[in-house]
């Protein structure tokens, strides 16, 4: 099966491409190289022994995208990762975020309709739940007003897909990721950092490597067991594997036009739990200080994963220790400039 993977050399995209290839699928990657490195194609080849097809395509340019589909007529399904994803940047540049994330998705769906491609898996986020009223949060929980333009683009794309699936032959699975972390066991692919990391784990690994002086923990006065926020951290390879389960489900199920699944482990860990887990996995002490809360942070969010476990026949399997070890191996690899 030929699977179009948009954003396929990004963090989650590249891990998904590897898992697809490991299972005999034929991924076709498009990426505009705005937030990604073409060298990842070589690294995927190193891991899998086979070079994936790659085309540089700007999805917001309909002519470019249409040309791509004209060239590759045999696409069986699409996994749509391509998006801008820095929450802070989206607050500063809302037009850039709305334009990029929405126009690319609209163009993609138009092409899928025109070229008669029916199945799409979409990267969504637990950000659509905001601060959930009930934990663990399940897929039927109310969608809350978005905390950022980035979060709003995920919500709007979910709406676009919901409305489109109602009146076209397109079928979709929306995967709501919790907090993907870690890297491939080979340390050849992972999350590249451009400047100061926004996310917790790269901040921890950069503090461990000496690149950052200390981790700042944003608030310890939340209503949680140790006062720091709770999140559902999940290994990126587990997230990647869920996409294959979603593709397989789309190919066998006829009646469901759109489905939504949470991708998490179901466990809420605090920021301090994560610091301890890193220290235990690597033996390296993390220098940290508690500072004020970060505006826009939710107190606690972790997934009810039962629906994904049952319907996708998928379960996150990698441990917190594996997440931390792989994140650290990746950081060391980055430090070597490889």
Residues 189-228 that bind ligand UFG (CB under 6 A): 198-200, 203, 215-218
Residue selected from 109, 117, 271, 286 as contacting ligand UFG according to rule CB under 6 A: 271
Q: In the complex with ligand UFG, which residue's Cβ is closer, 65 or 204?
A: 204
Three-state DSSP string of 84-117: CCCHHHHHHCHHHHHHHHHHHHHHHHHHHHHCCC
* Cα(267)–Cα(233) distance, integer angstroms: 8
DSSP character at residue 144: P
Residue selected from 124, 127, 164, 305 as contacting ligand UFG according to rule CB under 6 A: 127
Residue tagged active-site, from 11, 97, 129, 150: 150
Q: In the complex with ligand UFG, which residue's Cβ is closer, 93 or 251?
A: 93
Strands in 119-125's sheet, in edge-to-edge order, are 53-56, 26-31, 2-6, 77-80, 119-125, 171-177, 258-263
At its nearest, how many Å lie between ligand UFG and the CB of residue 194? 15
Residues 96-125 that bind ligand UFG (CB under 6 A): 125
Q: Name the β-bridge partners of 299.
A: none
Q: Phi, psi (5° rounding) for residue 115?
A: -100, 10
Instruction: Tell me if 141 contacts ligand UFG by CB under 6 A.
Output: no
Q: Name the β-bridge partners of 269.
A: 231
203 is catalytic: no
Could you tell me which residues come within 8 angstroms of residue 196 by beta carbon, excluding any fewer than 6 positions away?
212
Residue selected from 118, 294, 315, 332 as contacting ligand UFG according to rule CB under 6 A: 294
Residues catalogued as catalytic = 150
- Binding-site ranges for ligand UFG (CB under 6 A): 85, 87, 125-127, 150-151, 179, 198-200, 203, 215-218, 229, 231, 271, 294, 297
């Amino acid at each position: 099966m030929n699977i179009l993977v948009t954003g396929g050399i990004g963090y989650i995209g590249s891990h998904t491409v590897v898992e697809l290839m490991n299972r005999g699928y034929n991924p076709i990657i498009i990426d505009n190289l705005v937030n990604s490195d073409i060298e990842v194609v070589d690294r995927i080849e190193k891991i899998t022994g086979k070079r994936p097809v790659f085309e540089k395509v700007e999805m917001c340019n309909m002519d470019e995208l249409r040309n791509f589909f004209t060239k590759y007529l045999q696409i069986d399904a699409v996994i749509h990762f391509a998006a801008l994803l820095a929450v802070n940047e989206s607050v500063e540049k809302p037009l850039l975020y709305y334009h990029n994330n929405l126009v690319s998705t609209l163009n993609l769906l138009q092409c899928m309709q025109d070229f008669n491609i029916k199945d799409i898996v979409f990267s969504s986020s637990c950000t659509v739940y905001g601060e959930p009223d009930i934990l663990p949060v399940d897929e039927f929980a109310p969608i809350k007003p978005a905390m950022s333009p980035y979060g709003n683009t995920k919500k709007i794309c979910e709406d676009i897909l919901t409305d489109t699936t109602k009146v076209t032959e397109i079928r979709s699975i929306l995967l709501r990721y919790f907090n993907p972390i870690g890297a491939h066991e080979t340390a050849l692919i992972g999350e590249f950092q451009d400047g100061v990391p926004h996310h917790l784990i790269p901040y921890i690994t950069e503090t461990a490597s000496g690149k950052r002086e200390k981790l700042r923990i944003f608030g310890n006065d939340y209503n949680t067991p140790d006062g720091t926020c709770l999140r559902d951290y999940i290994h990126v390879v587990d997230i990647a594997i869920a996409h294959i389960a979603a593709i397989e489900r789309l190919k066998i199920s006829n009646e469901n036009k759109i489905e939504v699944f949470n991708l998490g482990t179901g466990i809420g860990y605090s920021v301090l739990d994560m610091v301890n887990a890193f220290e235990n996995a690597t033996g390296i002490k993390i220098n940290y200080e508690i500072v004020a809360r970060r505006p826009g942070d939710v107190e606690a969010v972790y997934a009810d994963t039962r629906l994904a476990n049952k319907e996708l026949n998928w379960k996150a399997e990698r441990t917190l220790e594996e997440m931390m070890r792989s994140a650290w191996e990746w950081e060391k690899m980055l430090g070597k400039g490889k």
